[in-house]
């Protein structure tokens, strides 16, 4: 059993490393593969690239789910780990935008899609493989080690990035050092393949194969037969919406928010996040074990409720702890944007190519990029937007008839005037490191992490127990990756677009809060208790 758990968790941790190494490199990735975009557009490109990998995870779930249900669990996740490792290695070899032009971001997005397809088949295989080997009264504990693999992979990604940055220096890291974390995945791939090749097929699938009970049509049985489709929908609306909303907010949107929105130095953010992720890893095991004692449902429900309730007050306290000067400036010199509402777009752009050229969009992009909250006031139709900072008014500019260098010059001019006004009003360009209360930020994030771990620790066991053996790989993987891929993967980009539209740096939190609240209701009224179910049915 030790080899089963170790090999499955190690391989999954490697795949999470490959997928998550993008997170601490998002700013450099935007500059490398989307050079020439302004700050806000570059940030949207980074968020869009992050989402692209998640968007393709359900496709991977369909492809490898069928392979796993027809041909076995082992073979499916040998292919997934190979595909992930190859795609990650190739990202480290890609040409920059300066070298290859538009082909550069296209190739990069393509590799992110390949990673998403690979990860879509990995998680289900690993969780099922361990659960089908485990004793029923230890299933939550054993599968919780698969859940820790996400924390291990993210920790490794953050550590490798931090160490490489320190070793080569910021200038070299931005130029070529960012490739090292991607290229280093080749060694991890070799180790993962070697370990997994030593595994045998799971006993539940072997018995199913010998009895001739394998599904001939896993898609039809999973999604076109109401009893199974109903279970898929329950899993999606409870566990998977909760994970996409709560877990990804706690570990990903929180990092984007602290670094990008409230301007905390990147090295400090990486240090805090490493501490949070490492501290959270044992919690998955604790809550997995606890679910073997008192049930999966109660543990996951309470965890989701805790994290959801803590989001709004927690993010406010994080801002106060990480950038108190921003909070003070916001209270002393509030910002108002006077603009024609018809000229204000929802700045949701997953590929970073939209121009957002109206005077309203230009002004809001600058303010949101500076991490500044603002109030929206309607101006007469056709009026050029005005930004008012305390008692100072700054005129924006309309670039809808411009493109290329003239448009960039116009946006740079507006940005310069607004940023000068913000500086004069006492707004900090970034959080002063000496005033960042790292311990307080860490403790607040740990509240989120406790709730997220209580949700995620028992989740693998519950998902495996929900579905019959003959369609388990397909039926489990699809809702898992729709929830995490679409709800979680699109969270940062959607939340940021909501912030820009509303002018409130906390407004994007409604996305995970509403998702978490709906998931709690689904847990209470729809999800059955699965602890101890027979996995050979």
Residues of the chain by 3-state class (helix, strand, coil), percent to 5: 75, 5, 20
User: Within a 13 Å sphere around the CA of 311, how many CA atoms are in the beta-carbon half?
Assistant: 30
Span 309-353, pLDDT tens digits: 999 999 999 999 999 999 999 999 999 999 999 998 877 655 455
How confident is the model at residue 369, as a pLDDT? 80
The separation between the first and the last C-alpha atoms of the chain, rounded to the nearest angstrom, is: 22
Token readout for 194 is: 């070697």
Confidence of residue 31 (pLDDT cuts 50, 70, 90): confident
Output the pTM of the full model: 0.85
Q: With a cut of 90, say whether residue 57 has pLDDT above it.
A: no
86 burial (CB, 10 Å; 0-12 / 13-18 / 19+) is middle
- Residue 520: the pLDDT is 98
Residue 289, both tokens: 């074990």
- Bigger pLDDT: 208 or 444? 444
**Residue 5 has what pLDDT?**
73
Q: Give me the pLDDT at residue 81, please.
A: 81
Give the pLDDT confidence of 378-406 residue by residue, as tens digits.
Answer: 999 999 999 999 999 999 999 999 888 89
pLDDT in the model for residue 34: 77
User: 181, 168 in Cβ contact below 8 A?
Assistant: no
**Domain with residues 2-322+433-525, CATH architecture:** Up-down Bundle (1.20)
Confidence of residue 22 (pLDDT cuts 50, 70, 90): confident
Q: Which runs of consecutive H residues, i.e. helices, occur in 260-400?
A: 266-294, 296-322, 324-332, 359-369
Domain boundaries, given as residue ranges, for the chain: 2-322+433-525, 327-424
Cα 53 to its chain centre, rounded Å, is 10
> Residue 317's Cα: distance from chain center in Å?
22
Tokens 């929105």: give the residue: 261
CA dist., res. 48 & res. 368, Å (int): 17
Q: What is the predicted pLDDT for the residue at 15?
A: 63
Adjacency order of strands within the sheet including 386-389: 375-378, 335-339, 386-389, 392-395
**Mean pLDDT value of segment 87-109:** 89
Round to whole Å and give the CA distance between 357 and 399.
Answer: 5
Euclidean distance between CA atoms 136 and 142, whole angstroms: 10
With H, G, I as helix, E, B as strand and everything else as coil, classify residue 178.
coil
Q: What is the pLDDT of residues 255-295, one digit of tens each?
A: 889 988 899 998 899 889 889 988 999 999 999 999 999 99
Instruction: Output Rg (C-alpha) for the chain, integer angstroms.
Output: 24
Asked if pLDDT for residue 407 goes beyond 80, the answer is yes
Token output for 446: 């740990």
- The token pair at 188 is 């991890």
pLDDT digits (tens, 9 = 90+) for 433-461: 999 999 999 999 999 999 999 999 999 99
Answer for the pair 243, 455: CB distance below 8 angstroms, yes or no.
Answer: yes
Averaged pLDDT score across all residues of the chain: 88
Q: CB of 160 within 8 A of CB of 274?
A: no
Angle at 504 between CA 501 and CA 509, to 5 degrees: 90
Helix axis angle, 203-211 to 103-133, nearest 10° = 80
The answer for residues whose C-beta is within 8 angstroms of residue 416's C-beta and 6 or more apart is none
Cα-based torsion angle of the residue sequence 161, 163, 165, 169 in order, rounded to the nearest 10 degrees: -170
Q: How high is the pLDDT of residue 119? A: 81
CATH fold, domain 327-424, is Glutaredoxin (3.40.30)
Residues 116 and 54: beta-carbon distance below 8 Å: yes
Phi, psi of 192 (to 5 degrees): -60, -45
Give me the pLDDT at residue 469, please.
87
Using N-to-C axis directions, what is the helix angle for 472-482 and 57-71, rounded to 10°?
Answer: 170
Q: Looking up tokens 């996305």, which residue turns up?
A: 511
Report the percentage of the chain scoring pLDDT > 70: 93
Quick check: 3 pLDDT over 70? no
- The whole-number pLDDT of residue 385 equals 96
Distance (Å, rounded) from C-alpha 464 to C-alpha 535? 8
CA dist 374 and 504 (Å) reads 6
HEC states along 77-88? HHHHHHHHHHHH
Among the listed ranges 126-135, 430-439, 474-483, 507-516, which one has the minimum average pLDDT value? 126-135
Give 145: exposed, middle or buried? Use CB within 10 Å, 0-12, 13-18, 19+: buried
The arithmetic mean of pLDDT across residues 452-471, rounded, is: 94
Strand partners, 335: 389
Cβ 214 vs Cβ 69: under 8 Å: yes
User: H helices within 341-490, ranges in order?
Assistant: 359-369, 404-424, 438-456, 459-466, 472-482
**pLDDT of 148 higher than 60:** yes
Asked if residue 537 has pLDDT above 80, the reply is no
On whether the CB atoms of residues 326 and 371 are closer than 8 A, the answer is yes
Minimal CA–CA distance to 460: which of 5, 1, 3? 5
pLDDT of residue 474: 92
| Residue 355 confidence (pLDDT) above 70 | no
Tokens of 329: 């400036």
Cβ burial of 227 (10 Å; 0-12, 13-18, 19+) is: exposed
| Mean pLDDT (whole number) for 86-98 | 90
Cα(28)–Cα(25) distance, integer angstroms: 5
pLDDT at residue 160 is higher than 80: yes
Strand partners, 336: 375, 388
The conformation of residue 509, written as its DSSP 8-state character, comes to G
Q: How confident is the model at residue 359 (pLDDT cuts 50, 70, 90)?
A: very high
Per-residue pLDDT tens digits for 482-519: 988 788 878 887 888 888 888 899 999 999 999 999 99
Strand, coil or helix: 67? helix
More confident residue, 510 or 206: 510
pLDDT tier for residue 200 given thresholds of 50, 70 and 90: confident
> Do 2-322+433-525 and 327-424 share a fold?
no
């Amino acid at each position: 059993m030790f080899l089963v758990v170790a090999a499955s968790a190690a391989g999954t941790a490697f795949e999470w490393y490959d997928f998550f190494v993008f997170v601490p490199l998002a700013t450099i990735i935007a500059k490398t593969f989307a050079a020439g975009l302004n700050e806000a557009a570059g940030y949207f490109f980074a968020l869009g690239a992050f989402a692209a990998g998640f968007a393709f995870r359900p496709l991977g779930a369909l492809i490898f789910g069928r392979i796993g249900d027809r041909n076995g669990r082992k073979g499916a996740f040998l292919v997934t780990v190979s595909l992930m490792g190859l795609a990650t290695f190739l990202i480290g070899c890609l040409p920059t935008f300066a070298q290859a032009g538009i082909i550069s971001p296209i190739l990069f997005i393509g590799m992110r899609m390949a990673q998403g397809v690979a990860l879509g088949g990995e998680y289900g295989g690993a969780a099922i493989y361990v659960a089908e080997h485990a004793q029923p009264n230890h299933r939550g504990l054993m599968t919780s080690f698969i859940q820790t693999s996400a924390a291990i992979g993210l920790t490794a990604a953050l550590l490798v990035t931090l160490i490489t940055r320190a070793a080569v220096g910021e200038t070299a890291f931005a130029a070529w050092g960012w490739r090292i974390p991607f290229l280093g995945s080749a060694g991890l791939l070799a180790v993962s393949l070697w370990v997994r090749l030593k595994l045998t097929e799971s006993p539940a699938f072997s018995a199913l194969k010998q009895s001739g009970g394998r599904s001939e049509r896993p898609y039809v049985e999973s999604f076109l037969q109401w009893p199974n489709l109903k279970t898929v929908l329950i899993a999606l609306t409870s566990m998977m919406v909760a994970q996409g909303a709560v877990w990804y907010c706690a570990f990903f949107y929180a990092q984007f928010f602290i670094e990008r929105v409230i301007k905390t130095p990147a090295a400090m953010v990486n240090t805090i996040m490493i501490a949070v992720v490492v501290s959270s890893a044992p919690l998955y095991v604790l809550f997995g074990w606890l679910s073997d004692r008192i049930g999966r449902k109660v543990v996951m429900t309470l965890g989701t409720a805790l994290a959801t309730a803590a989001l709004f007050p927690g993010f406010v306290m994080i801002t106060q702890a990480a950038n108190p000067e921003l909070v003070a400036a916001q209270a002393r010199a509030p910002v108002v944007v006077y603009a024609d509402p018809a000229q204000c777009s929802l700045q949701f752009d997953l590929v970073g190519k939209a121009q957002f050229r109206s005077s309203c969009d230009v002004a809001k992009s600058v303010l949101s990029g500076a991490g500044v909250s603002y109030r929206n006031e309607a101006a007469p139709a056709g009026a050029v937007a005005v930004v008012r900072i305390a008692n100072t008014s700054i005129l924006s500019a309309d670039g809808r008839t411009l493109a290329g260098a003239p448009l960039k010059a116009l946006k740079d001019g507006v940005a310069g005037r607004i940023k000068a006004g913000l500086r004069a009003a006492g707004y900090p360009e970034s959080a002063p490191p000496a005033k960042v209360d790292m311990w307080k930020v860490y403790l607040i994030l740990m509240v989120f992490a406790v709730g997220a771990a209580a949700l995620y620790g028992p989740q693998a066991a519950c998902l495996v127990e929900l579905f019959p053996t003959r369609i388990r790989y397909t039926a489990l993987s699809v809702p898992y990756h729709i929830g995490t891929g679409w709800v979680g993967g699109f969270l940062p980009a959607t939340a940021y677009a909501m912030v820009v539209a509303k002018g409130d740096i906390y407004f994007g939190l409604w996305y995970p809060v509403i998702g978490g609240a709906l998931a709690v209701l689904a847990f209470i009224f729809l999800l059955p208790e699965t602890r101890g179910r027979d996995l050979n049915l």
